[in-house]
Structure 1
C-alpha cells in the first residue's frame, strides 16, 4: 500500500503549507524536455509530479494556473493526438510532467493504445515520480476511461490524487455532490490519495491547496 504524508492539522500548519506552495510556484518554471517514447526520457533527477486526465479536462489551464504562466503548457489543436510527455522544471526543486490526454472519442485506436503503453511504462519505471494528479471534469460524469486510468495507476502502484477541474461552471449543491462522489471513488482505489481537491483555473479556487500539496513533495529549499 502507498504511504501518504499526513495532512496539516492546525490552522498554523495549513497556513505554512499554503505559503510554502505559493513560494515554490512563484519560482521560474521552464520547459526542458519532451519524450514520445520511454527510451527518450530524461535522466531521473528532481522529484516529479505528473498531470493526467481526459482530453479537454483542463489540464493545460491547470498547469498554467498553478505556475502563473499563460502558455507554459499548451493544449493540442486536435485533442487526443498529442502523445509526448512534456517536462517542466520548477524552481530547481520539482519537475512537472504534462502527460498526454486520454479518452478522446475520435482518436484513432492506435493513438489510444500508444497512450496507455507509454503511460504505464512511464509510471511503473520512473523512480523519481512522487505522485500523479489525475484530473476529473466537475461538470460531467465519471467516464470508463477515468476508472480505467485509476485501475492502471493501482496496478503500477503509483500514488494518484484526484483533482476536480472547472468548478466555477458548477452550482454549489451539484459541486458538493460531485466532491462526495469522487471522495467515495478514491476510497475504492488502493493507490488513491485520500484528499480530493476541487479547483478552478478561472477563479483560482483550490489552487493554493493544490500548490501546497505538491510543494510538500518537492526537494527541500
Structure 2
C-alpha cells in the first residue's frame, strides 16, 4: 500500500472513531458556578471556550448531533457557568465536554467579568482530567484583544489548546477565509501551548465536524 493510501486509510479510521464516539446520545449531567461545585473528575475532559457570540453552543450541538443539547441564545453572555456533557457513555473511551462561559461580553459588568475569568482560570489550572481546550475563533472577524487574553490565560495555566474556526460558511470571498486560516497558523506557531492543527468548521453546513469529532475521539482514547 502506498504512503498516500496509508494516510487515507488512517484518516478514514480517525473519522470513523469520531463518528462512533458520538453515535450514542450526548447527555448534559452537571452545571457549576464555583470551583468547589465541580463534579468528580473521571473521564477525560475537553473544554470549549470562546467569545460570547462565536457560535459555541451551535458547534457543540452539531458535534453531538443534537440541536437542543447546548442552549443557543441570541443574547450573548447567557452562559455564566461550566456545563458538563457526557459523550461515549458505556464505552471504553468516554469523554466529558465542558461548555465554558463566553468572554468578551461588552454589556457584562466588570465584577461579572472578573468572576467569569476567575472561574475559568481556577478550572483550567486545577482540573486533573482536562486534556485540551478547544478555543473557538470567528472566521469572519479579526482576532480580538479578548482572544489574545484567553490564549495568555491558557498559557499561564499551562493548558494545551486547539484553535477551531467557526462560521466558515459565512466567510466570503474564499480569500478572506484563507487569510484568516493563515493568521491562525501564524498564531499557533508562536504559542507553546497551541496544538499545531487548526480546524475550520461550520455548524450550519457541517464543515469540519467529522474532523473535530475525530480529534475529540483521539483525546478520549488517550491521544
| Equivalent residues in 2 for 1:62-141, closer than 5 Å | 62-76=59-73, 78-92=75-89, 93-141=94-142
- What TM-score do you get using the length of structure 2 for normalisation? 0.92
Query: What secondary structure does 1:216 align onto?
Result: helix
Query: What secondary structure does 1:183 align onto?
Result: helix
Indicate if the aligned counterparts of 1:80 and 1:111 stay in contact, CA closer than 8 A: no
Shift of 1:25: 1.2
Indicate if the aligned counterparts of 1:46 and 1:219 stay in contact, CA closer than 8 A: no
Query: What secondary structure does 1:10 align onto?
Result: helix
1:38 is matched with: 35
What is the CA–CA distance in structure 2 between the aligned matches of 1:110 and 1:25, rounded to whole Å? 37
What is the CA–CA distance in structure 2 between the aligned matches of 1:55 and 1:78, rounded to whole Å? 9
Shift of 1:76: 4.2
**Residue 53 of structure 2 is aligned to residue 51 of structure 1:** no
Q: Say which of 160, 165, 180 aligns to 2:182.
A: 180
What is the CA–CA distance in structure 1 between the aligned matches of 2:144 and 2:67, rounded to whole Å? 29
Structure 2 gaps, min length 5: 1-5
User: Residue deviations 1:29-79, cap 9 Å, x none?
Assistant: 101000000000001000001000000100000000000001100134532
- What TM-score do you get using the length of structure 1 for normalisation? 0.93
Q: How many residues align?
A: 212
Once superposed, what is the RMSD of the aligned Cα atoms? Answer: 1.2
Q: Say which of 6, 17, 20 aligns to 2:17.
A: 20
Q: Say which of 195, 198, 201 aligns to 2:200.
A: 198
Structure 1 gaps, min length 5: 1-8
User: Residue deviations 1:129-186, cap 9 Å, x none?
Assistant: 0100000000111000000000000011101000000000012111111001011011
